[in-house]
Structure 1
Amino acid sequence: MDFYENQFFPTIKERGVEAIIHLGDLFDRRKYINFNTLSSWREKFFKPCQEYPCHFILGNHDVYYKNTNDVASTDLLLREYDFEIYNVPKEVKFGTLDILFMPWINDENYEECISAIKETKSQVMFGHFQVDGFEMHTGVYSQEGMRKDAFEKFDIVLSGHFHHKSDNGTLYYLGNPYEMTWQDYADQKGFHIFDTESRELEFIPNENVIFKKIYYDDTDKDFTDIVNADYSEYKNCYVKVVVQKKSDSYLMEQLIQRIEQNDPSSVVVVDTHIDSMISDQLIEDIESEDTMSIVSRYIEALETNVNKGELDILMRDLHTEALQTEFITS
């Protein structure tokens, strides 16, 4: 929550932002929430949000069922706040600009949403869309959803849903405001300021990077180099040490020890030198890909009649739930 406390809210106050708009998927879990997480969000996000008019569009992870928006965590968790929540299409005026707000489109509201898109006179739309051909994560593309030409009537469309920031000049996927998994490594996150008069969209990079890699090669290093280096940047971060060449195990142990002394959230060692026969390409794959990148590549290579896009999304949901499952031991 440091991002909101130390950058997001100070920035929008300094810049004179007049309203906050969230484009969906307030939380990643669609069926339950950790109470400790909720407590932190109430104190560090919802409470300061009350100083602004706030608008929340339903995303697919905000709703319990996949075919209806009837049961939504956003609606249930934010009832005590004076926030606007959009579970149906609605045109909203900001100054002289009319903006069409569009929630997650599913089987139940499909006709209503498509009709609203066709009939609106608004030139700007905000929503949470699944569109074919856009990059969901770095190197992983959507293979299902709405056609890109469905948005040609608009001057600009801003969407949540995909975690990777990308656009085609009309439809802009804004991406995550912060990193969530190793799939977000080296993929710049942040938030945007939209000027309703000029219709300019400004990207504000998130200064807080939590997934970091260290490429270890002790060819030209000695004990002094290791112990005198500054490791403070790894506090509360997820660190992956990629061993390219290790000739002194003791030096390696000292490196790991000093990283851990700075309280990282996690340290993982990828030792690529253990087999000299490993190809350069495989080493690159090992150090750059996380679990879901490998799974997505495997799905793409499958010879099957199953919808690969849906299978990829299903595997991502299962992977996310598995990572977040809490165990009770006696």
Structure 2
Amino acid sequence: MKIWMISDTHLGCRTNSVMWIELIRSYFYEFFIPLIKKEANPKEDILYHLGDVFDNRQSINIAVQNLAIELFDELTKYFKEIHIIVGNHDIMKKNSTDITSVDCLKYMPKVYIHKHSTIKEYIIDGKVIKCALMPWQVDEQEELDFLSKKADYLFCHAEIKGHQMTNSIHNVVEDGVEINEFAGYKRVYSGHIHYGQHKVGTNIIYVGNPYQMTRSDISNTKGIYCLDLTTGKENFYENTYSPVFLKFYIDEILDVELSEFFKKIKGNFVDILVPSSYMGKYDINKLILLCSEYANRLDVIVNDDGGIDDIEEMQSDFNILNIAKTYIANSTYDDELKEKLLNSFIALYNECLNEQQNI
């Protein structure tokens, strides 16, 4: 008997982006479900979703809800049971788990929604294996009280101090529960933090989201964990299908064969960092247009500090807003005209963005 784990699917991410709806659907039908068909036993194996099925905690887009119902209905064919623990993005109220977006799935056969902590018992070769399921806790003391109960494994959606939030070693969880509160379990598997990781010297694994969703996921390997309750061994199945986020400096591109570079970026989300001094000296438009034919999305970032960690996520296929800001700032126009041009461009940019989101 095996327990398969997935977490933080965030259906409806990027403001219900049609592109992301299709990317997620494709992930399940082209990678996850074929993997399960090959490796899982539908009469014995169980799926645990470790929280944040949906992205928006206040409203669910009809297309997104339809995708969730479609996917979980399909997944019931390949698992004996499916257990969903409620994540912080699944609850409407921050201080209560009573109203959740995942309630739309509770009427499906073999699907169980866990709004409150519970312990499941499985008998393996005559031995009782206890699996604790702990959804997002709105009360810290209740969380600590539950963690004091004895179980072999913990599956949760929690903030645990000292773990990385992103690919930056300086961005760590400062609030939440102390690591030593989880010491009584053979292994802890948690959702909530998208950056998959196993902190050295601990029994805690953040399974991460199943596919890269933001620049913070750069170089973070995504995949699926599977725990064999009979042997206590776990397997990790890497997601080799979904697009990933890549970052290149313009000089890196100029030094390689373009055909090889195009293979590398094909279908992925690509940032190309260009020093502002290049904008007026070189015509890079042709290169950028060529690259954009291969990438799933291409952003040109005018940047002189060598990094993009603080650049917020952009919604357009090209980061023309940053380019326009840099061009206007470096122009010879007087300050009054610069301000008018920038305001006009931002208004036009937002108008186009709103039209794109309504398509």
Residue matched to 2:21 = none
Among residues 107, 125, 132, which one is paired with 1:100 in the alignment?
132
TM (norm. structure 2) is: 0.69
Aligned residue type for 1:209: P
Among residues 285, 310, 315, which one is paired with 1:253 in the alignment?
285
Mind listing any 5+ residue stretches in structure 2 that lack a counterpart? 1-23, 314-349
1:159 aligns with 2:190: yes
Residue matched to 1:209 = 243
| Separation (CA, whole Å) in 2 of partners of 1:156 and 1:329 | 45
Contact 1:175 1:189 in 2 (8 A): yes
Query: What displacement does 1:62 show?
Result: 0.8
Query: For each residue in 1:157-187, what CA deviation from the matched residue of structure 2 results, as whole angstroms up to 9, or x when unmatched?
Result: 1111111122342121111111111111222
Among residues 35, 44, 48, which one is paired with 1:11 in the alignment?
35
Residue matched to 1:115 = 145
Contact 2:69 2:105 in 1 (8 A): no
Aligned residue type for 2:132: L
Aligned residue type for 2:104: L
Query: What displacement does 1:246 show?
Result: 5.3
Residue matched to 2:346 = none
Contact 2:83 2:111 in 1 (8 A): yes
Q: 1:141 to 1:111 in 2, by over 3 A?
A: closer
Contact 1:63 1:70 in 2 (8 A): yes
| Separation (CA, whole Å) in 1 of partners of 2:253 and 2:223 | 37
Residue matched to 2:268 = 237
Q: 1:46 to 1:326 in 2, by over 3 A?
A: farther
Contact 1:66 1:106 in 2 (8 A): yes
The within-5 A match list for 1:109-188 is 110-118=140-148, 120-139=149-168, 140-168=171-199, 169-188=202-221
Aligned residue type for 1:138: N
- Point out the more displaced range, 230-239 or 181-190: 230-239
Higher relative contact order (CA 8 A, sep 6+): 2
Secondary structure of 1:132's counterpart equals coil
Q: CA RMSD in A?
A: 3.0
Secondary structure of 2:97's counterpart equals coil
Mind listing any 5+ residue stretches in structure 1 that lack a counterpart? 273-277, 293-321
Contact 2:150 2:184 in 1 (8 A): no
| Separation (CA, whole Å) in 1 of partners of 2:112 and 2:272 | 44
How many residue pairs get aligned? The number is 280
Give identity over the alignment, percent.
25
Residue matched to 2:49 = 22
Contact 1:130 1:146 in 2 (8 A): yes
